[in-house]
Amino acid sequence: MKIIKNPIALIVLLILILILILVITLNYYQIIKIEGAINHLISIISIVAGLLLIVWQISEQHNNSLKAQDEGMKQKIKLDVFSELDLTLKKCQNSLVETGTSVLTLPQKFDLRIFQQSITPSFQAAPVNERAELLTNMHFTATRKLSSVVMVLEKYEIMFPDDSVKKITSIKNKDIEKLTKCFTEFLNFTRAFLPINVPEDRVAQLGKVYSPTLPNKEQLENLKGLSKNYHKQTIQMLGYIYDIRRESQNYFLSSSFDRQLPPRKPTDPNAKVISFYS
């Protein structure tokens, strides 16, 4: 079958067969019945050529069938990888939105309680629902989800363009560190104002929740700045999620739908945009 795939080898093989048939035929007729030998030779050549053509056609059909099966298998693998990556990106996106929104809105909740007490000094505003433990869990859940995106990319690194996964991993790891640094600064300042759930053995003495003093105006402004820094970093990470989703759609699905999605264009000219090709 390998010889048949090569046109030159096929021609050489046909010539050798014809020479062999000619020698045998001429020897058989002892070069006496030349005309009969030639007619007989032509008939044999026609039969051999027809058989070779049939074999070649069967070989081509078989090869085309294998190529189609191989392409179908590759496309299925691409769809499976895209589905896994897209689900991981969705979970990461939801987690980032939750932690970023919680941190950003916390100063506003303090501000509302300060306003309520300023109107009615005797009014005891209910403590905020956020706790240091809750905020910490949300943040580190988001970082784990970010790491899971990197793990999926590394899992299928062989499928992506050269060094693209390494570049994306390097960018995301650096920004995960920035995100954690912003959160640490935010939490270290905020924990002094966050309520604490009292252990059961101290409930009778302190009540179910211990509520520290609300931040003053200056402290609240500092808190707003720290929360905005953290939220800004989550927005940057959400931008990366957006980039990877669009890049993966272009990479895995563009051949099926005959179109390409344009890259993200952030309003901040200094913001990074992730691409599989740069």
Whole-angstrom distance, CA of residue 255 vs CA of residue 260: 9
> What are the pLDDT digits (tens) for 192-219?
999 888 777 776 676 777 778 889 999 9
Ranking 1-15, 46-60, 70-84 by mean pLDDT, the lowest is 1-15
Q: How confident is the model at residue 241 (pLDDT cuts 50, 70, 90)?
A: very high
Nearest alpha carbon to residue 85 among 16, 14, 160:
160
Distance CA 83, CA 248 (A): 10
pLDDT of residue 227: 97
What residues contact 190, with CB distance under 8 A and at least 6 apart? 106, 132, 135, 223, 226
pLDDT (mean) for 122-128: 73
pLDDT tens digit sequence for 219-228? 999 999 999 9
Is the pLDDT at 46 greater than 90? The verdict is no
How far apart CA 84 and CA 151 sit, in angstroms, is 11
CB atoms within 10 A of CB 246: 18
pLDDT at 169 over 50: yes
pLDDT at 119: 81
Residues 6+ apart with CB under 8 A from 154: 165, 169
Q: Which of 15-19, 113-117, 176-180, 272-276 tops mean pLDDT?
A: 176-180
The predicted model scores a pTM of 0.74
Interval 183-194: pLDDT, tens: 999 999 999 999
Write down the H helix ranges in the chain: 7-29, 34-119, 132-155, 164-190, 203-206, 217-257
Q: Assign 3-class secondary structure to 95-138.
A: HHHHHHHHHHHHHHHHHHHHHHHHHCCCCCCCCCCCCHHHHHHH
If you average pLDDT over residues 148-175, what whole number do you get?
90
